[in-house]
Amino acid sequence: MVRVYFDRNAFSALSELEDGFTPADVEKIKNAVRAGSIKILGSSPLLEETAATMAYSREMYRRHMGTVLDLIDRRRLIKSGEDILNDDCYNYTVGLAESDRTMPATVSLMRKFEFSEHESYVRGVVADRQQERTKGTVQLNDVMAEARADKRWAGSVPRASLDELWDQIGVMVVAHWVDKCPPEIKKKCHKRGLKKMLLLRGFRFHVLYFISMTYTSLFGMTGDPRKVKHGDLHDAHHAICASAVNVFVTNESKTRPGHLGHALSWKPTPGFEVLSLREFLERISAGT
């Protein structure tokens, strides 16, 4: 069975039947799920981002959330990015294999996103996450402003490739997380070596996305640096969640830095690939 994680934009295209997608395409995915050839996993970030459609209309919320809940495995959700990275740290220190990265999805939680009588809960979730993303965006923009002021990155022309950034700051990004762990975990991670933690999927995808975001913040996608946006924070969580699956489905570019599809594919990861929604549909038509 192939484990799959959909980006929010892929679910949106199916919910709105955009870009030539049809009800038959949705049914094709449902049939693959029923046949057991694929399992589509959801996550709290996905549910929360989908819940934000409530700001447009209740009908849009029902349509988008209905599509998500119809397709994902409602018994298990991918853990939060924080939990995945913390698990990676613990397992690394004690020599355990990487964990499943999922957790049971309680019936009560799933129902709160499903039924209209829980509208106040949904709106509360959206407001809380909006506040968190705003705070995180401000903090990251401050960090990027300091980096742009560094003489090494001065100028509008890229002075480093993505691979050079990986070599220069990859371990630093890992260390930033590890150093927030409990003292014993922190000590053992450093002793075993932080560079080897880049082979752990959770940290690998966390660093891949951070470097892609750093690249566009330093140099931009057309030579002009750009600020970190709320969507970047959502994508940072989706990147780590993608470490739980074999296939990540997104309609974002796989060739342009700053896009989630590119972030997770510019450095290949064994047993993992990024597909567009159209490519995914072609794959399941061919028998996955």
Over pLDDT 90: what percentage of the chain? 58
Q: β-strand 72-78 against 102-104: which pairing, if any?
A: antiparallel
Q: 96-101: which pairs have CB atoms within 8 A and are 24 or more residues apart?
A: 98/200, 98/201, 98/202, 100/244, 101/202, 101/243, 101/244
Please give the average per-residue pLDDT across 209-235, as a whole number. Answer: 68
The pLDDT value recorded for residue 156 is 44
| pLDDT computed for residue 275 by the predictor | 98
Read off the pLDDT of residues 62-108 as tens digits, 9 standing for 90 and up. 999 999 999 999 999 999 999 999 999 999 999 999 889 999 998 77
- Can you tell me which residue has the tokens 């029923």? 34
Q: Which one-letter amino acid corresponds to residue 215?
A: Y
Which has more pLDDT, 36 or 147?
36
3-state secondary structure string across 185-221: HHHHHHHHCCHHHHHCHHHHHHHHHHHHHHHHHHHCC
Is residue 136 predicted with pLDDT exceeding 90? no
pTM exceeds 0.95, yes or no: no
pLDDT value of position 258: 78
Strand partners, 248: 5, 274
Q: What are phi and psi of 252, to 5 degrees?
A: -80, 155
User: When comparing pLDDT for 156 and 167, which is higher?
Assistant: 167
Question: How far apart (Å, rounded) are the C-alpha atoms in residues 143 and 103?
Answer: 33
- Quick check: 16 pLDDT over 90? yes
The reported pLDDT for the residue numbered 112 is 72
- Smallest Cα–Cα separation from 277: which of 253, 239, 249? 249
Residue 153's Cβ-side half-sphere holds a number of Cα atoms within 13 Å equal to 21
Q: Is residue 218 predicted with pLDDT exceeding 80? A: no
d(CA 6, CA 18) in angstroms, rounded, equals: 16
Closest CA to 171 of 197, 210, 152: 197
Q: Tokens in use for 194?
A: 């932080």
Give the angle 262-268-272 at the CA atoms, nearest 5°.
90
Q: For residues 268, 30, 50 and 174, what is the CA-based torsion angle, rounded to 10 degrees? A: -20
- Burial tier of 130 (Cβ tally within 10 Å: 0-12, 13-18, 19+): middle
